[in-house]
Structure 1
Amino acid sequence: MTAWDLEPERGRDGGAESGVPEAVLVSGRVSGAFAVDGVARFLGVPYARAPFGSRRFRAPEPVEPWEGVRRAAEFGATAPKRPYAPPLDALLPDPVVEGDDCLNVNVWAPWGPAGPDIGAGGDGSRGGRPVMVWIHGGSLVHGSNAVPVYDGTAFARDGVVLVSVNYRLGVEGFGVFPDAPANLGLRDQIAALVWVRENIAVFGGDPERVTVFGESAGAISIAALLASPLARGLFRRAVVQSGAPMALSRERARRTTEAVAKRLGVAATAEAFAAVDRERLLTAQTEVTAKGSPLTGGHSFQLMVDGDVLPRNPAEALGAHGGVPAEGRGVDGAGVDLLMGTTSEEYRLWFVPSGLVERLSPFLLRLALWKTRVPSRTARVYRANRLGARPGELLGALATDKLLRVPLNRMADARLRSGAAGRTYLYEFGWPSPVLGLGACHALELGFVFDTLHTPEARAMTGPDAPRELAAAMHAAWVAFAAEGDPGWRAWDGERPVMAFGPGAPVLVPAPRDDERRAWDG
């Protein structure tokens, strides 16, 4: 029996008579299950039609209504993908659920005996719980909403309706073709947000209090949503974790698609790709992108400035490039409350397991700095602050700040200069994992944010003794931000306050490592 078996109509709304939680969506009735007492979960609920067959490489289409009750007690299909390559596969779980209905969401919600626990409203809203919508990372080729670390039980336990989203990945979601819309994966995310606006009230959520949050490629996606006219009004707050605004021109973005086409021996068109077997396409895509990473370059899938979903580069629109946004436009997303930050040692996820930290020689460091156009004056500041650091550690620190910390600081500065109505908060996650010497690496904060350190998948990165009190503090900050727009520390101002989550207890730090940040200016 699958998660989408239809059952006869039974019970009343909320499931009090049937013994299972139920909800009536715009498209039909669904039945879920109880995660724990007081928390219901609805898994694999479709927000758009399956993007295959005649709908392959097409914009998402609304779900067809159904009769009866759809079971939503198991995770839905994941987007076509391949697992992470070793050694990252042991650190980053990436479950696969077969099927075509990959455009689905999971919902965790506070639930009482009679149905959704709506709560008292709060902050002047018209009622309902705050809503958080999670957009997963994975370099736009990995990940799903079925990853155990992303379990939303703790958020629902603490009064939030948590929604996690699947979207098309790789060439299916971010291929660039002359005969298909661009940014299909981003369009999927927008379709999911429209679904949330139309349906979240039946789970007890307030459609006027939606917070989008995501990490890595999910954070890059959220920055794009902040800059997209098609997403305006769909969320009130945003959390950007370890991802900065970016998008490529059509010419640059299409290079990966063309490389996959060459590998397949077909034309670089959606029509030609639609005729290719899914597994064969995944094989070619994996071979082309095997050596690409956010820090080392190579072929990868990226968002594209398309004149529609993304009329201009989000880095420019949000002020992350360090310049002045387009005349008369201000800063996009200025009315949205924004929480953003990084880990202290993002690079270690890629540089340590691969051995690059140890292998990189002084000569290769100089070559890498030249290729990536790191100013010599900037490198000198980092060297002076890291006496005895290996070349790989120095390169990693520079790459972390160039790609992530500096652009996010510039975003915060642009919002401050513009007098943006939305508040801005910055954080840094610094607790070092003892596992493999990963330190405070990319993605390490996820088990803390979701309060899922108890799961084996989180422990693969943190080890068994990660500080639960730090997870409680970080998770509570995210809940408070979604509920009230204030995570519990001072908003961004001229003193550049950053909340440091570890090592040790959380502490507000003014302008951390500011000499290094300033070294990128001018």
Structure 2
Amino acid sequence: MSIHPASIDARVEVDTIAGRVRGAWRGEPGTPGASAAFLGIPFAEAPVGDLRFAAPVPKAPWEGVRDALEFGATAQRGDPGVTLIPEPSVPGDSTLNVNVFTPRPEGTAASVPPGDGSTGSTAAGLPVLVWIHGGGYFAGSPASLWYDGARFNRDGVVTVSISYRLGFDGFGWIADAPSNRGVRDWLLALEWVQQNIAAFGGDPSRVTIAGQSAGGGAVLTLLGMEAAQHLFHGVYAISGALADVSPDRSEAFGRGLAAAAGVEPTRGGFSTLPEERILELQKKATELGPDSLASMLTEGLPLGPAIDGDLLPRSTRESIRAGVGADKPLVLGATDDEFTMAFAEAERKLRWIPKSVVLRKLGLSKSAMKPYLAANADIARKGTARIAGRYLTDMMFRTSVVGLVGLRGDAPEHAPTWVYRFSWPSGRFGFAEHCLDVPFFFDCLDSIAIEPLAGPNPSQTLADEVHGGAVAFIERGDPGWPRYTDAARATRVYDDPSSVVSDGYASVASLLAPA
């Protein structure tokens, strides 16, 4: 996939520390709303050969000018069959790359007027958004048209999307390999931003990291990581799915995969396996059936950032409780029905099964049953499938929002936290499902594949609110509604119309363990 400038004159070049890159303008340079895109810039050497299963190595300098007109190779291979966001796979070895979208590439600052909502050019550089895609830590790619930073550029924000190694290559335990290789990819990509973003018109001292699903979990993981604190200044976590895989579980998974492949659990052993074989084994080892949902809720994901005694000496929750990242402003929230679609096909069958039976099968304790059903009576009235989907959503996402805010605290010396719910019901599904909020965040309701997720008439008014709040947070560190405190628990409810309510996550209270 590539960008298509109108003519050769629309090209624009910028110097990075590794070499010069050539991108392209979208729109007439110097006019409101115009921005330049630089795609597939490598921040690390290709993780192949001796660098397979190694920590990422910064990209060596090149001579001449490197075209940055097409998306780079992605760690996602083929069609994973799981993404609700159009995230194409791009073949190739150089999978560690960044895409930069900017209204003010090097040498053009004086000619770019402010766009709608923008503060215009400033000598200090524009605020920066760095986006980390989701996909359960095993799928997804930054090569999505939804992640195009054009609308953020219009509003004065330089935007960067990054790639990272996925699945076992990125997160699997190997006896003699560096741990958390995907996490190390995030860190090196953020180092690249610090070293290079000024050349693209951005301010390295005003970097907000954001992501959705596994990407939301990624930015929360970085928030709780001592080694990452100098690389960003604010966090926006959308439906964050933390992994925090335990050391024993991580090692057991790695040894199990090696045994299934008939190799030693070492770099040498795994390096004898082609990429396709590891992907095949990984898929088989992580398959979920109807009876394994409850275990996933209690044990979490088997692949993802793992507690390794090195980068992640303890869980993200423990780190946040200890005050790591307390100086970083944070926005976090979730959709109301992230995974309700998981029960959509079984809705007719489930209507004949008592709600309590299905919820017990999913792991809801007998003591919490009555208060949970009472707190979610409006959803329970819609049937067993809907309350099962809400419970799955609550356990995987919504309880984490409340739990993390509680661990972070609201002491005056801490940076503020803001909480939201995305409640607007999709015109396709009738509820706010997983990924629905992403095109509203990027203000790209006119992009591809919106209707299958959002229906035929998504609310532009709501997109203006969600995107506008994100821009305000990235620019000024405040999304525009009251901060969350233990006393008020102000929650922005994104709907049409939107509102601010007190204790917007009260319905999950019966699921929260005592502090």
Question: Which secondary structure does the structure 2 equivalent of 1:173 belong to?
Answer: helix
Deviates more, 1:437-446 or 1:201-210: 437-446
C-alpha contact 1:84 1:94 (8 A) present in aligned 2? no
Question: Which of 11, 16, 26 is 2:17 aligned to?
Answer: 26
Q: Which residue of 2 aligns with 1:455?
A: 447
Tell me the distance in 2 between the aligned counterparts of 1:17 and 1:442.
40
Q: Shift of the alpha carbon at 1:221?
A: 1.1
Q: Shift of the alpha carbon at 1:366?
A: 3.4
Q: 1:208 to 1:113 in 2, by over 3 A?
A: closer
What TM-score comes out, normalization by structure 1 length?
Answer: 0.87
C-alpha contact 2:126 2:157 (8 A) present in aligned 1? yes
What TM-score comes out, normalization by structure 2 length?
Answer: 0.88
Report the aligned-residue RMSD.
2.7
Q: Which residue of 2 aligns with 1:185?
A: 182
Tell me the distance in 2 between the aligned counterparts of 1:315 and 1:456.
37
Question: Which secondary structure does the structure 2 equivalent of 1:233 belong to?
Answer: helix
What does the per-residue CA deviation read over 1:206-233, in whole Å, with 9 as the maximum and x for residues that have no partner? 0000000001111111111111122111
Tell me the distance in 2 between the aligned counterparts of 1:395 and 1:99.
41
What does the per-residue CA deviation read over 1:228-248, in whole Å, with 9 as the maximum and x for residues that have no partner? 122111100001110144402
Tell me the distance in 2 between the aligned counterparts of 1:113 and 1:454.
29
Tell me the distance in 2 between the aligned counterparts of 1:215 and 1:28.
31
Question: Which of 463, 473, 478 is 1:471 aligned to?
Answer: 463
Tell me the distance in 2 between the aligned counterparts of 1:258 and 1:376.
36
Q: 1:424 to 1:334 in 2, by over 3 A?
A: same
Tell me the distance in 1 between the aligned counterparts of 2:497 and 2:460.
11
Q: Shift of the alpha carbon at 1:418?
A: 4.3
Question: Which of 232, 236, 240 is 1:235 aligned to?
Answer: 232
Letter in 2 for 1:172: D
Deviates more, 1:111-120 or 1:47-56: 111-120
Q: 1:205 to 1:358 in 2, by over 3 A?
A: farther
What does the per-residue CA deviation read over 1:378-414, in whole Å, with 9 as the maximum and x for residues that have no partner? 3212322324343332222222222222222122233
Q: Which residue of 2 aligns with 1:217?
A: 214
Letter in 2 for 1:243: G
C-alpha contact 2:105 2:200 (8 A) present in aligned 1? no
Q: Does 2:486 align with 1:486?
A: no
Q: Which residue of 2 aligns with 1:416?
A: 409
Question: Which secondary structure does the structure 2 equivalent of 1:232 belong to?
Answer: helix
* Matched residues, number: 490
Q: Which residue of 1 aligns with 2:370?
A: 380
- Percent identity among equivalent residues? 35
Q: Which residue of 1 aligns with 2:304?
A: 302
Tell me the distance in 1 between the aligned counterparts of 2:314 and 2:366.
31
Tell me the distance in 2 between the aligned counterparts of 1:93 and 1:211.
24
Tell me the distance in 2 between the aligned counterparts of 1:137 and 1:113.
30
For residues 24-173 of structure 1, the aligned pairs below 5 Å read 24-37=15-28, 38-85=34-81, 88=82, 91-111=84-104, 114-116=107-109, 127-173=124-170
Q: Does 2:504 align with 1:512?
A: yes
Q: Which residue of 2 aligns with 1:13?
A: none
Q: Shift of the alpha carbon at 1:364?
A: 8.8
C-alpha contact 2:329 2:417 (8 A) present in aligned 1? yes
Tell me the distance in 1 between the aligned counterparts of 2:20 and 2:127.
23
Q: 1:180 to 1:417 in 2, by over 3 A?
A: same
C-alpha contact 1:152 1:450 (8 A) present in aligned 2? yes
Q: Shift of the alpha carbon at 1:512?
A: 2.1
Q: 1:508 to 1:363 in 2, by over 3 A?
A: closer
Tell me the distance in 2 between the aligned counterparts of 1:361 and 1:257.
41
Q: Which residue of 2 aligns with 1:288?
A: 285
Deviates more, 1:408-417 or 1:420-429: 408-417
Q: Shift of the alpha carbon at 1:93?
A: 2.4
Q: Which residue of 1 aligns with 2:339?
A: 347
Tell me the distance in 2 between the aligned counterparts of 1:235 and 1:361.
51
Question: Which secondary structure does the structure 1 equivalent of 2:208 belong to?
Answer: strand
C-alpha contact 1:201 1:207 (8 A) present in aligned 2? yes
Question: Which secondary structure does the structure 1 equivalent of 2:449 belong to?
Answer: helix
C-alpha contact 1:130 1:206 (8 A) present in aligned 2? yes
Q: Does 2:253 align with 1:256?
A: yes
Which consecutive unaligned segments of at least 5 residues does structure 1 have?
4-15, 319-324
Q: Shift of the alpha carbon at 1:30?
A: 0.2
Tell me the distance in 2 between the aligned counterparts of 1:249 and 1:446.
30
Tell me the distance in 2 between the aligned counterparts of 1:58 and 1:119.
44
C-alpha contact 1:34 1:40 (8 A) present in aligned 2? yes
What does the per-residue CA deviation read over 1:43-89, in whole Å, with 9 as the maximum and x for residues that have no partner? 0001111111110000001110011000001100001434233xx46
Letter in 2 for 1:184: R
Tell me the distance in 2 between the aligned counterparts of 1:263 and 1:251.
18
Q: Which residue of 2 aligns with 1:266?
A: 263
Q: Shift of the alpha carbon at 1:263?
A: 3.2
Question: Which of 365, 390, 393 is 1:397 aligned to?
Answer: 390
C-alpha contact 2:340 2:385 (8 A) present in aligned 1? no
Tell me the distance in 1 between the aligned counterparts of 2:293 and 2:240.
12
What does the per-residue CA deviation read over 1:174-230, in whole Å, with 9 as the maximum and x for residues that have no partner? 111111111110110010000000000000000000000001111111111111122
Q: Which residue of 1 aligns with 2:424?
A: 431
Letter in 2 for 1:470: L
What does the per-residue CA deviation read over 1:398-447, in whole Å, with 9 as the maximum and x for residues that have no partner? 22222222222122233334445211101110111132x26201111001
Question: Which of 314, 319, 328 is 1:317 aligned to?
Answer: 319
Runs (4+) of structure 1 exceeding 6 A deviation are: 117-122
Q: 1:105 to 1:365 in 2, by over 3 A?
A: farther
Q: Shift of the alpha carbon at 1:41?
A: 0.5
C-alpha contact 1:338 1:425 (8 A) present in aligned 2? yes
Deviates more, 1:271-280 or 1:174-183: 271-280
Q: Shift of the alpha carbon at 1:518?
A: 5.0
Which consecutive unaligned segments of at least 5 residues does structure 2 have?
29-33
